[in-house]
Structure 1
Amino acid sequence: MQHNRRTFLKQAGLGLSAAFLSPYLFSCSGNKTGNGPFHNLGIQLYSIRDLIGTDPIKTLETVAKIGYKHVETFGVDAASGSYWNLPVAELKGVLDNQGLKTHSGHYDMSKYLSRHHQDKENIEKYIEIAHQLGQTYVVAPVTPMDDLNNLTIEDYQYAAEQLNKAGEMAKKAGIKIGYHNHFWEFRNFANGTKGLDILIAFTQPELVDFELDLFWIEKAGLKPQSYFEKYPGRFSMWHIKDMDKQFTTPVVGEKFDTADFMGIMKEIKYTEVGTGAIDFVNIASYAEKSGLQYAFVEQDDIYLPNKFESIKKSFDYVQKSLAK
């Protein structure tokens, strides 16, 4: 199976258009006072990628009005040093004007983490951009996507070594490297070890943190709590993403581990946080054990006509139910 990151992202997003929220929709927003990661909630901007790609300034203004305190970036054009046609310095100014911070960004490391590519991404450039934005984390959002069904223990060990090397580079700028999971990192090898276990075991905690995507670990048939217990303090970031109640079948196991990628994607549907199958209240009780610093709402596909309405629903649920 040959799939690259671009193919995955294309299939993961419907690209539905949406209008900006009317002022009345902000009337009941506003988060609770507090210093915790749920009070100071962030959003992964990939959730509203079509909107921010069309009008980044207005989109960020609306995100701030909803009540989000920080954003996680994606899709940097490293060659030009820009996001969505905004130079990094200009983007930083827009964020500052809206009272938004950015603590973390997703930076494509698909080739850097691959044993089979010599033309690696420029990690030093990523670190420079993250430093300009004031980010604490440079996050690898996905494994090499060339042949997901044939990733080996050696592939994960190599990726861990690469993450450590990037962590050494980033440390000089006061930045850590992060890794964000999907479902295939929870496939079993012959000895029962999983890819994410290898990445955690072979990376140095002072250099590399992990961003646990709560949807994907649940969709793999596991519980986030089990990983927080097993690896306390290693998950400084969470993606808070919910699962449609009609699409809860795990996509890890004998039936799926050699399946076509597109067939697996048919088993996946997202929904607004708090409206689906995931028990976030219980998961949130493990925030301290996990080492949680930053929490981000994310929804890979939004099915409501107004995407801002969707991310506001997720924001409101987190404020009501998790920001204690």
Structure 2
Amino acid sequence: MDVSFQLYSARNFTPWEGVLDQLTALGYTQVEGFGGVYQDAPAFRAALDARGLSMPSGHFFPLASFEEDFDKSIAAARALGMAQIYCPAPDDIYREGADAAAWRDLAARLETAAKRVQDAGLRFGWHNHHWEFMPLPTGEIPMALLLEGAPSMEWEADIAWIVRGGGDPLAWIKDHATRITAAHVKDIAPAGEAEDEDGWADVGHGTMDWPAITAALRAAGVSLFVMEHDNPNDLARFARRSITSFRQF
């Protein structure tokens, strides 16, 4: 089974050649890109190829990456061999105080971006954080507005962020199974633990019911699973424990 790794998790443990060597030795066959590795896409692709790694997916932020910087983003994605590209977060203006109209406007922009990326021969989706699951004062859930207003857009579901936003991940997977094409796999530490790692845990070593969640995602047809930890203090430990645990789910 192929298991991917979000390279953002390793941003504090460069050089990248050493990171890629560690991941290869642990059995990872895929990685997911982010802006920190796109500066010289052909060179990074060569480093991946030399280790038998592929990059089927990547994050491009902000949404302007698919608007005024569209050609640059698509060129990087193609150079790195991506098939699926995701916008990983809303701009700051949406994170606090945005109303339903603003989220609907964002959805309209995402729908335009999705069609533009698809016309270029790639797949486009949204990657969530917690903001999208926090009810607006008027009762709407931003994630529902995004999915409704951007019907051409796929969804890379970050399951732990759904939980942190107050959502029920199994319910969201059930209700939107046809939209989810990839998933971020990370864990939440018990309350009061791992505070130096922003409360995140290695996969299988936290509070998330990953066996049940993985089963639901697979039933929905998801095949791209990306290990992630937003702020690990030990890259080797996180990468090793996470792939070991995930292989048991």
- How far 1:246 moved relative to its partner? 1.7
The answer for the alignment partner of 1:298 in structure 2 is: 228
Which aligned runs of 4 or more in structure 1 are off by greater than 4 angstroms?
110-113, 265-268
Name the CA distance, whole Å, in 1 between partners of 2:163 and 2:146. 19
Comparing 103-112 and 87-96, the one that deviates more: 103-112
Match of 2:50 among 82, 97, 102: 97
Q: TM-score, normalised by structure 2?
A: 0.91
The answer for the alignment partner of 2:181 in structure 1 is: 236
- How far 1:69 moved relative to its partner? 1.3
Matched, 1:308 2:226: no
Where in structure 2 are the equivalents of 1:147-158 lying within 5 Å?
148-158=95-105
Matched, 1:160 2:107: yes
Name the CA distance, whole Å, in 1 between partners of 2:100 and 2:78. 33
Name the CA distance, whole Å, in 1 between partners of 2:65 and 2:245. 37
Where in structure 2 are the equivalents of 1:169-208 lying within 5 Å?
169-204=116-151, 207-208=152-153
Q: Could you report, residue by residue, the CA deviation over 1:29-59 in whole angstroms, capped at 9, with x for unpaired residues?
A: xxxxxxxxxx21101001110223xx11221
Match of 1:88 among 19, 37, 41: 41
The 3 A distance-change label for structure 1 pair 132 and 267 is closer
Where in structure 2 are the equivalents of 1:55-66 lying within 5 Å?
55-66=15-26
Percent of aligned positions that are identical: 24
Q: Could you report, residue by residue, the CA deviation over 1:200-229 in whole angstroms, capped at 9, with x for unpaired residues?
A: 11112xx31111111111112222110111
Q: TM-score, normalised by structure 1?
A: 0.71
Q: Could you report, residue by residue, the CA deviation over 1:55-107 in whole angstroms, capped at 9, with x for unpaired residues?
A: 11221121111111110111157xxxx44xxx211111111111111111111
Name the CA distance, whole Å, in 1 between partners of 2:227 and 2:105. 30
Name the CA distance, whole Å, in 1 between partners of 2:68 and 2:13. 27
What RMSD in Å do the two structures reach over aligned CA positions?
2.2
SS in 1 for 2:93: coil
Bigger Rg, which one: 1
How many residue pairs get matched? 248
Q: Could you report, residue by residue, the CA deviation over 1:260-281 in whole angstroms, capped at 9, with x for unpaired residues?
A: xxxxx99951011111000000
The answer for the alignment partner of 1:221 in structure 2 is: 166
The answer for the alignment partner of 2:31 in structure 1 is: 71
The answer for the alignment partner of 1:51 in structure 2 is: 13
Name the CA distance, whole Å, in 1 between partners of 2:219 and 2:68. 33
> Which blocks of at least 5 consecutive residues in structure 2 are unaligned?
none
8 Å contact kept, 2:184–2:227: yes
The answer for the alignment partner of 1:258 in structure 2 is: none
8 Å contact kept, 2:111–2:150: yes
Matched letter for residue 181 of structure 2: S
Matched letter for residue 272 of structure 1: D
SS in 2 for 1:103: strand
Name the CA distance, whole Å, in 1 between partners of 2:163 and 2:25. 31
Matched, 1:275 2:235: no
Name the CA distance, whole Å, in 2 between partners of 1:76 and 1:303. 19
Name the CA distance, whole Å, in 2 between partners of 1:149 and 1:40. 37
8 Å contact kept, 2:197–2:232: no
- How far 1:235 moved relative to its partner? 1.0
